[in-house]
């Protein structure tokens, strides 16, 4: 049996709109979707390495796995797929490729220096609906993960909005252009993709060969 897991985005929760809608859709066809809380009750010390370790501990050997991830969760999914042969497919929703370049450019040198000196920087957490501190270790850790290192030819579907002002669609276009095993679906939407639930589900369903209705066991 395939193990399906969804990884929510940065400063989000398993209760996000995409997580809930996808869980409902998987449930409607009789399949479970595991949605871990990547905050781990300690968002302040979040890192990509920590997310990878958390999800790796969930992988059920030797079952095949499909990982779906949104934004920073999408980046995490890409790295998991690169590292683990049991992961057979990944679906990346507005994945955060090159996010350090985009984010740090918006912050500017002064804010980055202050973050490094003080150790913490305040970011808005969409799940908590308030500003929360994030340790500089998040940046230091992410610097070790270059997109160019992702080279395992794993079937990959990227869904990205053409109006994304958080992670420009060009990041996914470049990633897909350099990897023949990547399919890119461009949608008329922004980073959140919250107006594209039906299109996302249709794409996931087709790409992962999911049933269109619950599988009812035959009577003996």
What lies within 8 Å, CB to CB, of 140 at 6+ separation is none
The pLDDT value given to residue 37: 98
The CATH code of domain 3-98+137-207 reads 3.40.50.1820
Tell me what percent of the chain is helix, strand and coil, each rounded to the nearest 5: 40, 20, 40
pLDDT at 120: 97
- Look at residue 213 in the predicted model and tell me its pLDDT: 76
Dist CA 196 CA 112 (whole Å): 34
Q: For residue 128, give both structure tokens.
A: 């908590």
CA distance 20 to 153: 30
Cα–Cα distance for residue pair 13/35, rounded to 1 Å: 9
DSSP class of residue 216 equals: P
Torsion angles phi and psi, residue 128, rounded to 5? -85, -15
Handedness of CA 85, 33, 18, 193 (dihedral sign): positive
State residue 62's pLDDT score.
87
Domain boundaries, the chain: 3-98+137-207
Q: Which residues of the chain have pLDDT under 50?
A: none
pLDDT digits (tens, 9 = 90+) for 166-179: 999 999 999 999 99
**What is the three-class DSSP state of 92?**
strand
* Counts of helices then strands in the chain (DSSP H, E): 8, 7
pLDDT at 217: 55
* Integer Cα distance of 21 and 175 in angstroms: 27
> Following DSSP, what letter does each residue of 95-156 receive, concatenated?
--TTHHHHHHHHH-HHHHHHHHHHSEEEEEETTTTEEEEEETHHHHHHTT--GGG------E
Question: Are 8 and 23 within 8 A, CB to CB?
Answer: no
């Amino acid at each position: 049996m395939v193990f399906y897991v969804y990884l929510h985005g940065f400063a989000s929760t398993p209760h996000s709109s995409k997580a809930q809608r996808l869980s409902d859709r998987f449930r409607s066809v009789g399949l479970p979707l595991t949605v871990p809380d990547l905050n781990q009750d300690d968002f302040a010390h979040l890192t990509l390495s920590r997310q990878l370790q958390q999800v790796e501990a969930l992988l059920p050997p030797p079952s095949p796995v499909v990982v779906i991830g949104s934004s920073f969760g999408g980046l995490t999914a890409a790295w998991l797929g690169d590292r683990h042969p049991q992961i057979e497919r990944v679906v990346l929703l507005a994945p955060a490729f090159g996010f350090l370049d985009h984010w740090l450019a918006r912050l500017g040198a002064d804010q980055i220096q202050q973050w490094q000196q003080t150790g913490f920087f305040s970011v808005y957490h969409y799940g908590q609906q308030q500003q929360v501190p994030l340790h500089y270790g998040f940046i230091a850790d992410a610097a070790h993960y270059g997109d160019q290192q992702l080279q395992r030819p794993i079937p990959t579907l990227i869904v990205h909005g053409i109006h994304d002002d958080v992670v420009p669609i060009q990041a996914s276009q470049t990633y897909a252009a350099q990897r023949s095993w990547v399919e890119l679906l461009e949608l008329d939407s922004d980073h959140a993709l919250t107006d594209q639930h039906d299109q996302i589900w249709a794409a996931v369903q087709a790409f992962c060969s999911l049933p269109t209705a619950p599988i009812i066991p035959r009577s003996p």
